[in-house]
């Protein structure tokens, strides 16, 4: 770890605030009027272009378009003239709620909703004042329309006013448009990054080319925590194109003129490893040990009422154990990082979600001032949390190699490096015991969760881990709306430690808690002989938003009408990142007992919808991502080695298995939530519940497999 | 050896067994062709060889010499191929990394089967992974491109 705690507190004390308690954090953060310099976020140029600078990274989630919409809404500019760029790493671009420049937690749009609109309104005001100066009239007598300041029949374009406007000081305060006047927000808008992404022109980190740049591949330890004892590079150096072989903390780097030479050179390396304790790791044994641990209470995450007494007096008991495996993010663009160390500067080209953290980490290794670490952000070929690394490992490694090699270097990961490289969604076990009354409603709930903590042992620990409980391990369970009405409940957590590096993976803790919670609630409904929708409605009597989402998804799925022959439906609703998503899956099982998901009906309450076309895409995509985990994905370890290596054995969803996903966006005045992650978690339980309805087999392990 | 990439003949200095992918990316500068897996599992590296879709990550560069190689950069001069137009209309892309390969596979499919059924679309596109999960819009855009081509005929 390269960050000290002091640096973190200075630069990012707010990091956690909104991460796991978004609504409270948001209320505190967002009531303040943002104080911003509009010039850092938008540039109006004499050629009529309007360039929006993004404080966050575009990794597919669509903010290239959404944040531009926010500025354009207030600026009243001509939409086709909008250009978008990633901002550099700089204090001006700190996350409005977290205080550190980063992209994650499905926070970009809601956290920037006020700042980007304010910037647009300020820029508009400056253009109007510039026009007023030119015409020698009062600004109030002017209005704007589609990139022009208008006075009667006369008009001046924003481009004509750009230079004069830039010399003005930004207004101290601006009035934002009322919702009824919005022209863009809430309208389906096509993406602005499409033209370059359909012609091959879009630059990703892996595409960066610099004069004199070399490509490096790194041989890393075959087990987590292993170290190089010694190595022989003579055969590697004999490969044409290989120029240097250098040792770095994470392994041995082969530096070559191109990828293929570096790959052949790496294959030819002979390395002796000190494998360390990680060599004993076996995921099967680990799962068995987690199951044992789950029988004993851990650190208390939630305790209310007297669970023992309530359990003893319950009419009936149900017990179930759920487990989920390690998962890799498997972004389509393998990790890479290009570094040039020159003239006291460290220049980095990489697709990162964690500018603030990476900049500090790189400064330390490169031995330069923070402001001399320049981060250029190309498009990210997928993120899903993989590029927000707490230890900045792929950036740190790039700086080490460039330093050792003395030339600009692009470090590229192969798919095998990625699948075997750790930083996984950790394996988890949930054990739940419920005591129910004579109507089948839970009166006592005892729940033990076992799995690695993502944040313990990082500089963020003291901010996130309270009384031994990492909030990201229990989110979605401790705050489950189903449990609010359960008078006696206790949720405890074991956070075992092992050498596999854990990381947040699209929807983080919800990726396992939603599966456990929504499966167990379904089990209770069936045990009570009640309809799963009606049963949930009874438990969610005090939760109108959840009920509305459930009912909307159910009605669009045809809940209550017979499904086509050989199919059944299952449902789930989950609240995460400030957004409620209900999903109904319609499934069948083929002759080979393979589960097929045909249709998924989703209903989403994310508060104000900014770009419905983008929201639909994120929900469809999150369902696909969640289905990979529900039906296919699992990483296993034997003798410390990850057994899978590429897409042939770490399988992900392909087009023939993509269901028809319909998305209803519910009108809502609720506080705006996120959209990149929330639809991921409910799909696994929705499918498992549908499989139960069809087969009466309750599948409690992911990926779901019928026997 | 000589490679004909997007209508231009280039001299490249590459060992015969270097995968075409790396010759295109590292030696010819056509970086629209993407590396995803290196073993013909994900389709990100899809290019056309004499009009047929191939996975360039497992094709030795020597096997492509003397044949017409088309990458995403050469599919149309200005993004006007019906598949690209449909992709824009349907708003398919998310992160965009796999999309060069998706588009090249779709264009090869439509060249061979102008009016593919849903099953033919799924079969032809099954080798192209998208982790963002754009599959539903991929299907829709292929159907749209197919009907645009029909209208043009």
* pLDDT tens digits along A74-119: 999 999 999 999 999 999 999 999 889 999 999 999 999 999 999 9
Distance CA B2, CA A480 (A): 63
Nearest to A100 by CA among A109, A90, A108, A110: A90
Say which residues have a Cβ less than 8 Å from residue A662's Cβ, sequence separation at least 6: A556, A599, A600, A601, A602
Nearest to A545 by CA among A700, A669, A418, A704: A669
Best of A200, A202, A267 to mutate (most B CBs within 10 Å, chain B): A200
The model's confidence at residue A287, banded by pLDDT at 50, 70 and 90, is very high
Q: What domain range is B147 assigned to?
A: 82-152
pLDDT on residue A485:
87
Residue A362 C-beta-side C-alpha neighbours within 13 Å? 33
- My answer on whether B58 and B115 are in the same domain is no
Gyration radius (Cα) of chain B, Å: 15
- My answer on whether B89 and B67 are in the same domain is no
Query: For residue A464, is pLDDT > 60?
Result: yes
The model's confidence at residue A35, banded by pLDDT at 50, 70 and 90, is low
Q: List A residues 118-177 in contact with B (Cβ-Cβ < 8 A).
A: none
Domain boundary among B22, B47, B74: B74
- My answer on whether B92 and B142 are in the same domain is yes
- My answer on whether B108 and B124 are in the same domain is yes
**Mean pLDDT by 10-residue block, N- to C-terminus, for chain B (153 residues)?**
97 97 98 98 98 98 97 97 98 98 98 97 98 98 94 77
Distance CA A348, CA A519 (A): 45
Provide the pairing of β-strand A148-151 with A154-157: antiparallel
Question: Cβ distance A528 to A318 under 8 Å?
Answer: no
| Helices of type H across A475-531 | 510-527
Q: Which of B32, B41, B126 sits opposite A201 (nearest CB)?
A: B32
Query: For residue A7, is pLDDT > 80?
Result: no
Q: List A residues 253-292 in contact with B (Cβ-Cβ < 8 A).
A: 257-260
Q: Angle at Cα A601 formed by Cα A598 and Cα A606, nearest 5°? A: 145
Nearest to B65 by CA among B131, B25, B17, B111: B17
- My answer on whether B67 and B87 are in the same domain is no
pLDDT on residue A453:
98
Residue with tokens 């995968």: B19
Question: Cβ distance A290 to A512 under 8 Å?
Answer: no
What ipTM does this complex have? 0.98
Q: Name chain A contacts of B41, Cβ cutoff 8 Å.
A: 646-648
Q: Name chain B contacts of A58, Cβ cutoff 8 Å.
A: 95
The model's confidence at residue A33, banded by pLDDT at 50, 70 and 90, is very low
Query: For residue A155, is pLDDT > 80?
Result: yes
Question: Cβ distance A668 to A608 under 8 Å?
Answer: yes
What's the pTM? 0.95
Task: Look at A193 and A7; give whichever has higher pLDDT.
Answer: A193
- Find the mean pLDDT for residues A636-665: 98
- My answer on whether B37 and B98 are in the same domain is no
Q: Is B30 close to A617, i.e. CB distance below 8 A?
A: no
Query: For residue A474, is pLDDT > 80?
Result: yes
Number of structural domains found in chain B: 2
pLDDT on residue A555:
98
Q: Is B26 close to A260, i.e. CB distance below 8 A?
A: yes
Distance CA A335, CA A352 (A): 9
* pLDDT tens digits along B92-132: 999 999 999 999 999 999 999 999 999 999 999 999 999 99
- My answer on whether B7 and B63 are in the same domain is yes
Domain boundary among B74, B105, B124: B74
CATH number of the CATH domain containing B70: 3.10.20.30
- My answer on whether B6 and B55 are in the same domain is yes
- My answer on whether B59 and B105 are in the same domain is no
- My answer on whether B67 and B9 are in the same domain is yes
Query: For residue A531, is pLDDT > 90?
Result: yes
Q: Does B105 touch chain A (CB under 8 A)?
A: no
- My answer on whether B45 and B106 are in the same domain is no
The model's confidence at residue A341, banded by pLDDT at 50, 70 and 90, is very high
CATH number of the CATH domain containing B101: 1.10.150.120
The model's confidence at residue A6, banded by pLDDT at 50, 70 and 90, is very low
CB pairs below 8 Å between A and B: how many?
184
Domain boundary among B24, B51, B74: B74
Distance CA A109, CA A577 (A): 12
Q: Go through chain A and tell me how many residues it has.
A: 707
Structure tokens at B45: 């590296």
Q: Distances in Å between the alpha carbon of A118 and those of A75, A161, A513, A620, B36?
A: 9, 20, 37, 31, 40
* pLDDT tens digits along A394-409: 999 999 999 999 999 9
DSSP-derived 3-state class of residue A677:
coil
CB atoms < 10 A from the CB of A548, how many?
19
Q: Is B96 close to A647, i.e. CB distance below 8 A?
A: no
Q: Is B97 close to A656, i.e. CB distance below 8 A?
A: no
- My answer on whether B7 and B37 are in the same domain is yes
The model's confidence at residue A182, banded by pLDDT at 50, 70 and 90, is very high
């Amino acid at each position: 770890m390269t960050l000290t705690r002091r640096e973190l507190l200075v630069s990012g004390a707010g990091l956690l605030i909104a991460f796991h308690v978004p609504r409270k954090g948001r209320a505190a953060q967002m009531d303040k009027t943002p104080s911003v310099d509009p010039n850092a976020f938008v540039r109006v140029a004499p050629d009529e272009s309007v360039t929006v600078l993004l404080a966050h990274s575009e990794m597919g989630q669509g903010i290239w378009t959404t944040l531009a919409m926010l500025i354009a809404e207030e600026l009243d500019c001509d939409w086709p003239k909008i250009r978008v760029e990633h901002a550099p790493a700089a204090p001006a671009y700190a996350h409005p709620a977290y205080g550190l420049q980063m992209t994650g937690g499905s926070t970009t749009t809601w956290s920037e909703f006020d700042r980007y609109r304010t910037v647009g309104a300020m820029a508009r005001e400056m253009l109007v004042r510039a026009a007023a100066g030119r015409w020698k009239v009062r600004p109030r007598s002017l209005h704007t329309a589609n990139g022009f300041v208008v006075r009667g029949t006369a008009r001046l374009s924003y481009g004509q006013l750009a230079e004069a406007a830039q010399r003005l000081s930004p207004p101290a305060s601006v009035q934002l448009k009322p919702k009824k006047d919005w022209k863009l927000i809430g309208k389906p808008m096509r993406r602005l990054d499409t033209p370059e992404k359909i012609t091959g022109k879009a630059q990703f980190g892996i595409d960066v080319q610099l004069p004199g740049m070399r490509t490096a591949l790194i041989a890393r330890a075959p087990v987590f925590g292993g170290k190089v004892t010694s190595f022989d590079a003579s055969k590697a150096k004999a490969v044409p194109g290989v120029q240097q072989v250098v040792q770095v903390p994470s392994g041995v780097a082969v530096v070559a003129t191109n990828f293929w030479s570096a790959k052949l050179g790496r294959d030819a390396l002979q390395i002796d490893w000190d494998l360390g304790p990680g060599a004993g790791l076996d995921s099967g044994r680990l799962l068995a040990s987690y199951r044992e641990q789950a029988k004993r209470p851990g650190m208390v995450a939630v305790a209310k009422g007297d669970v023992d007494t309530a359990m003893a007096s319950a009419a009936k008991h149900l017990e179930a154990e759920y487990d989920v495996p390690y998962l890799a993010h498997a972004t389509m663009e393998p990790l890479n990082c290009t570094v040039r160390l020159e003239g006291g500067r460290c220049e980095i080209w990489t697709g990162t979600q964690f500018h603030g953290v990476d900049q500090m980490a790189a400064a330390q290794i490169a031995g330069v001032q923070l402001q001399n670490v320049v981060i250029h952000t190309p498009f990210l070929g997928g993120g899903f949390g993989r590029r927000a690394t707490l230890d900045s490992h792929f950036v740190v490694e790039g700086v080490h190699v460039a330093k050792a090699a003395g030339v600009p270097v692009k470090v590229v990961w192969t798919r095998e490096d990625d699948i075997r490289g750790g930083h996984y969604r950790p394996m988890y076990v949930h054990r739940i015991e419920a005591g129910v009354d004579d109507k089948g409603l839970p009166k006592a709930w005892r729940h033990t969760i076992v799995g690695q903590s993502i944040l313990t042992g990082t500089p963020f620990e003291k901010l996130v881990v309270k009384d031994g409980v990492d909030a990201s391990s229990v989110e979605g369970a401790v705050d489950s709306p189903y449990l609010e009405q359960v008078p006696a409940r206790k949720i405890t957590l074991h956070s075992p430690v092992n050498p596999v590096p854990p990381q947040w993976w699209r929807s983080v803790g919800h990726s396992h808690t939603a599966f456990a919670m929504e499966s167990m609630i379904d089990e209770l409904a069936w045990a009570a002989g009640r309809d799963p929708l009606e049963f949930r409605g009874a438990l969610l009597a005090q939760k109108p938003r959840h009920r509305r989402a459930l009912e909307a998804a159910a009605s669009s799925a045809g809940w209550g009408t017979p499904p086509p022959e050989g199919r059944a439906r299952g449902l789930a609703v989950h609240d995460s990142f400030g957004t409620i998503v209900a999903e109904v899956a319609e499934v069948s099982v083929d002759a080979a007992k393979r589960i097929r998901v045909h249709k998924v009906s989703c209903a989403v309450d994310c508060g104000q919808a900014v770009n419905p076309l983008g929201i639909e895409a994120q929900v469809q995509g999150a369902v696909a991502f969640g289905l990979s985990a529900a039906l296919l994905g699992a990483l296993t370890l034997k003798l410390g080695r990850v057994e899978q290596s590429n897409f042939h054995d770490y399988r992900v969803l392909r087009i023939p298995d993509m269901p028809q996903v319909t998305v209803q966006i519910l009108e809502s005045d609720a506080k705006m939530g996120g959209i990149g992650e929330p639809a991921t978690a409910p799909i696994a339980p929705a499918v498992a519940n549908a499989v139960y309805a069809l087969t009466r087999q309750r599948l409690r392990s992911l990926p779901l497999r019928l026997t | 050896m000589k490679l004909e990439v997007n209508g231009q003949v280039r001299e490249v200095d590459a060992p015969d067994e270097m995968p075409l992918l790396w010759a295109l990316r590292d030696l010819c500068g056509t970086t629209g062709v993407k590396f995803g897996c290196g073993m013909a599992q994900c389709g990100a590296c899809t290019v056309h060889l004499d009009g047929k879709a191939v996975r360039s990550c497992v094709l030795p560069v020597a096997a492509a010499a003397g044949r017409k190689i088309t990458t995403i950069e050469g599919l149309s001069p200005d993004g006007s191929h019906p598949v690209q137009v449909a992709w824009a209309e349907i708003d398919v892309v998310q992160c965009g990394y796999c999309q060069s390969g998706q588009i090249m596979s779709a264009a090869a499919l439509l060249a061979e089967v102008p009016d593919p059924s849903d099953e033919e679309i799924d079969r032809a596109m099954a080798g192209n992974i998208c982790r963002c999960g754009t599959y539903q819009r991929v299907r829709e855009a292929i159907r749209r491109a197919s009907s645009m081509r029909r209208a043009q005929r």
